[in-house]
A and B are shown apart, each in its own frame.
Chain A
Amino acid sequence: MNKLTVFGLCIVGFFMVIAIFAPIIAPYNPGQIDIKNILTAPSYSHIFGTDSLGRDLFSRMVYGTRISLMVGFIAVGIASLIGIALGAMAGYYGKWVDVIIMRFIDIMLCFPTFFLILAVIALLEPSIINIMIIIGATSWMGMARLMRAEILSLKERDFIYAERAIGASDLRIIARHLIPNAMAPVLVSVTLGIAGAILVESSLSFLGIGVQPPTPSWGNILSEGKAVMGAGWWMMVFPGLAIFITVLGYNLLGEGIREKLLKS
């Protein structure tokens, strides 16, 4: 592993720890309003300062880490399930199954994803669950293609013929033998996908149609900060940095895994 990958892994690990231990790390209740301390600059008692309602920004950031990472993970989880299942089916069964799934992927890729998400959110209500589902449902295509390509090369290998010869069912061959052996490149896509999903969630929340206040997420803290940009620089700098560093971390980790796979 090179140094950048290790760095990426550290970032990823760091934010995971923060998300898991949020209640222990956060010094204040993230929803606690304090009218006397509105928009105070970073100080010893509020290390990231306070927001326009006097809430402790550091505590909100810590809880926001939870939300942002959760959205990233679950959205990518949904995308992986769809992508892996459809990609594996297309690759294994071939023929008309492949044609239908691949054309469907082409159609999905035609849509400008972000605006599709905007349109769907406008119809549904912007809850965390809806956001996770929608991000997941619009970002599985790359994984499906990767999976299909891997399966195409794997299914002609002798050990798959051997499985058929001993009487293994299609489902067993796909789930137990093809997918596990095809997972490595998909893992890269998953890691990069988490970065993408965190970005999309932040963008949506920034536009006010993502995670709704008072639940904190990096995106909506940033959005609240925009309104008081001149008076409280800390409201934009800290969430912006958090998004930037996290996305950087996942991208470095993803690239590191990719490099490692190319070598082996």
Chain B
Amino acid sequence: MTMHLELLKIDSLHKTFKKHKVTAVDNASFSIFKGEVLGLVGESGCGKSTLAKLILRLIDADKGSIFYKNKDLLKISNGDMRKARKDLQIIFQDPYASLDPSMRIGEVIEEVYSIHKNVSWHERKNKTIELLETVGLGESYLNRLPSELSGGERQRAGIARTLATDPEFIICDEPVSSLDISIQAQILNLLIELQKRKNLTYLFISHDLGIIASVCDRVIVMRSGKFVEEGQCEAIFINPKHDYTKELLTSSIGFLDKKPK
């Protein structure tokens, strides 16, 4: 794996929610290299999801910069950002909330094609079916509504939508934490397989150390908006430096029994 091309460089990113006077992300700086899976771990409410939305400019940052291939995403116009979104995608935590309840699965994916015009009009349907098959759904799902799908199937549909833009970088924001244990492994395997096959780069957010250990190359530990520790996955799990990391590790006893891949 070539891990040296710096794909995304986040520099002192900051966000305070004025209404609640909460600093959700406090001077976050880190880099993600092409082809790697970077884990972001921390308890719920520590600002992980806010950070994800900040990186994709889904909410506005107070200050800082986000360099994607040496271009500062916070400085480009809304129109340019919409084009750049093609390369940067996100998979949401709750598959029950992340699909438009009034749209059929086929329409959800074809919409991406009609926005980015990356697939010609008469190829759209075939491409959509192909994509659905890639994520383990089939042609029969084209005309189904999200309400007719199970949680796992919805998450697969969400992943299909994410892949439709043919992105380079995907933020997986707790992609399995709202799914049944039995489904979690299937979705994780799908994500890992896609990452390997398409040489994708992931920012993998989770509060589950076991999952982080089995998926990620490097990991960042986050606590109330701040990064407390960063390093290679094994190094951090075997020899944690920061007290909070140790606390996290001891509070999830048994995770090391799960074999890291």
Contact = CB atoms under 8 A, between A and B. Distances in A.
Interface size class of B (residues with CB under 8 A): 20 to 34
B98 A158 contact: yes
B158 A167 contact: no
Nearest to B85: A167
A181 interface: yes
A179 to B, nearest CB: 10
A260 interface: no
Nearest to B164: A166
Q: Which DSSP category, helix, strand, loop or mixed, fits chain A's interface?
A: helix
B86 A167 contact: yes
B112 interface: yes
A158 B116 CA distance: 21
Interface size class of A (residues with CB under 8 A): 10 to 19
B165 interface: yes
A168 interface: yes
B253 interface: no
Given A168-B111, A172-B115, A162 B102 contact: no
Contact of B100 (A164, A167, A169, A181): A181
Interface in A161-190: 161-169, 172, 176-177, 180-181
B83 A167 contact: yes
B98 A180 contact: no
Given A157-B97, A181-B102, A166 B115 contact: yes
A164 B93 CA distance: 16
A161 B58 contact: yes
Contacts of B103: 177
B73 to A, nearest CB: 13
Interface string B80-115: 001101101110111001111111000000011001
A14 interface: no
Contacts of A172: 115
Given A158-B94, A158-B97, A165 B115 contact: no
Contacts of B161: 162, 166
Interface of B: 53, 56, 58, 82-83, 85-86, 88-90, 92-94, 97-103, 111-112, 115-116, 158, 161, 164-165
Given A162-B99, A177-B103, 12 more contacts: A158-B93, A158-B97, A161-B98, A163-B100, A164-B58, A165-B90, A166-B85, A167-B82, A167-B115, A168-B115, A172-B115, A177-B102
14 contacts: A158-B97, A158-B98, A159-B98, A159-B100, A161-B58, A162-B158, A165-B85, A165-B89, A166-B115, A166-B116, A166-B161, A167-B165, A172-B115, A176-B111
Q: Which 6 A-B pairs have the closest CB atoms?
A: A167-B85, A158-B98, A158-B97, A167-B82, A158-B92, A159-B100
